[in-house]
Structure 1
Amino acid sequence: MTKRATERPRKFTKPAHWSNDPVPAPRPPDNPERLSPTRYGDWVKDGIAIDF
């Protein structure tokens, strides 16, 4: 069995866009009465419900 790496290689340098800031809190929905298409699978385009 191959041993799993537990540390980064010594040559590794952290990219400039990486940060240690906490993840931002989720925004409240724009219209809470409207169902989420990612949750229910129905997308509306020009008044017609479509499913991919």
Structure 2
Amino acid sequence: MATIKIKQVKSAINRPKDQKRTIEALGFRKLNQVIEKEATPQILGMVKKVSHMIEIIE
């Protein structure tokens, strides 16, 4: 499968609990961290849910 690189650019402080849990489930530990995930439908749905706090790196 294809992989995508995701970078967290905004903090999860003062966000709803479900968005905080989604950021944690994606594997983010700190701001500006870049992670690489497989582009499964589940991961893409999580990315869409918190798209305002992350950016996709090509």
Query: Normalising by structure 2, what TM-score?
Result: 0.17
Greater per-residue helix proportion: 2
Question: Greater CA radius of gyration, 1 or 2?
Answer: 1
Higher strand share: 2
TM-score with structure 1 length normalisation?
A: 0.18
Q: For CA contacts below 8 A with separation 6 or more, give which structure has more relative contact order.
A: 2
